[in-house]
Amino acid sequence: MNKQKYLDDIKDIKNIMDRSTKFISLSGLSGISAGILALIASYIAYRLVYFDQNYLVDRIAVINYKTLIQLLLIAVATKLLAILLGIFFTSKKAKKNGQKMWDAQARRFYINLLIPLITGGLLCLVLLIRGYVSLVAPMTLIFYGLGLVNASNHSISDIRSLGIIEIILGLIAVCFVGYGLIFWAIGFGVMHIIYGIVMHYKYGS
Amino acid sequence: MKHILNDINKAFENKIRLGIMSALVVNRKIDFNTLKELLDVTDGNLASHLKALEKREYISVHKEFIGRKPRTQYAATKLGKAEFKKHIRAIEKLIS
């Protein structure tokens, strides 16, 4: 007779434990939108950088001062758009979960994500300035992956495996100089879309 | 069956008290306002349930000042954590 009440109790306990410790309002839709943006950006960057290829030798990414500025602009614009869409979808989902978008749990998640991410960002800037352009794409993948793994304790557990995949992709990308952009498109584009879809169906958006 | 029912703790039968304990066993400390938002209850309601749990020594209360603003933080005591675990185990047996 009381079985249903106790089942509800267990559900409540789990829900409150999750809500009080984890940032669960990450929306699958924000992953999908970020992934699509990343693919579009990669395509534009690809057209800019890889032209006049001689397919018999190693691919050569042609980057000069002008294309570098254009690439940075594309990167910044993509990032901003992805963040805006992410905020939009996340706030919608947070409202549905009865969780605030910027609470102690979200803070813990983002701080743990940002420490490796900012480290990687600064490192990439130094690499760019020193001319190690080919290392930039793999490094962004590796540090983004490290950030996700680091932050995954404070959010849904799927984030962890996504992080590990990004790290592996980044390490492989270091070995294939000249293909950085392609790995970048897989890591930030395709993987985000796949994980976004999985999260959307698993947790709702 | 009878001894399982003995482990069901009347103090945790209430939804709000159950919620308070759930949050406090997985967090070191939580302040009043965070609990209020988490459980979506009114000040008075939350305060009376916190009092009840405090009386049984299931939770401890820590008052501190941030500047001039007082902040009350709550934490589960050893006794509270043990009793809550017992309660959950009893529930699990009842529904399995």
Does residue A17 sit within a domain?
no
Beta carbons of A82 and A40 less than 8 angstroms apart? no
Complex ipTM value: 0.85
- Work out the burial of residue A11: count CB atoms within 10 Å of its CB; fewer than 13 is exposed, 13-18 middle, 19 or more buried: exposed
A149 has a pLDDT exceeding 60: yes
A contacts of B27 (beta carbons < 8 Å): 20-21
CB contact under 8 A, A20 and B18: no
Examine residue A13 and state whether it is found in any structural domain, yes or no. Answer: no
Give the model confidence (pLDDT) of A107-135 as tens digits: 889 999 999 999 999 999 999 888 888 89
Q: Give the count of beta carbons closer than 10 Å to the beta carbon of residue A196.
A: 24
Residues of A in Cβ contact (< 8 Å) with B94? 2-3, 6
> Which 3 state secondary structure label does DSSP give A131?
coil
Mean pLDDT, rounded, for B27-55: 91
Q: Write phi, then psi, for A118 (nearest 5 degrees).
A: -70, -40
Is some CB atom of chain A closer than 8 A to the CB atom of B73?
Answer: no
The DSSP code for B27 is S
Does A5 map to a domain?
no
Q: Quick one: pLDDT at residue B61?
A: 94
> Residue A8 pLDDT > 60, yes or no?
yes
Residue B59 has φ and ψ, to the nearest 5°, of -130, 155
Nearest Cβ partner for B37 among A9, A17, A100? A100
Alpha-carbon distance B26 to nearest alpha carbon in chain A (angstroms): 6
d(CA B20, CA B39): 8
Chain A CB contacts of B39 under 8 Å are 16
Q: Which residues pair with B69 in a beta bridge?
A: B66
In a domain, A197, yes or no: yes
pLDDT tier at A55, thresholds 50, 70, 90: low
Closest chain A C-alpha to B35 CA, distance in angstroms: 9
Residue A96 lies inside a defined structural domain of this protein: yes
Whether A76 is covered by a domain: the verdict is yes
Tokens encoding B58: 């299931």
Which tokens is A125 given? 């800037």
Sheet holding B59-66, edge to edge: B30-31, B69-76, B59-66
Give the per-residue pLDDT at B69.
Answer: 84
**Alpha carbons A42 and A185: distance in angstroms, whole number:** 6
> What residues of A are in contact with residue B89 (Cβ under 8 Å)?
none
Mean pLDDT of B14-31: 91
For residue A6, what is the nearest residue in chain B, using CA coordinates? B91
Whether the CA torsion B31, B33, B37, B40 is positive or negative: it is positive
pLDDT number for residue B22: 94
The whole-angstrom separation of Cα A113 and Cα A159 is: 11
The per-residue pLDDT for range A57-83, each reduced to its tens digit, is 556 666 677 888 888 889 889 989 998
State which residues form the domain around A154: 29-203
Measure A6 CA to nearest chain B CA, in Å: 6
* pLDDT of res. A56: 55
Residue A107: Cβ within 10 Å count: 12
Q: What are chain B's domains?
A: 2-95 (1.10.10.10)
- How many domains is chain A partitioned into structurally? 1
Among B18, B23, B26, the residue with its CB nearest the CB of A9 is B18
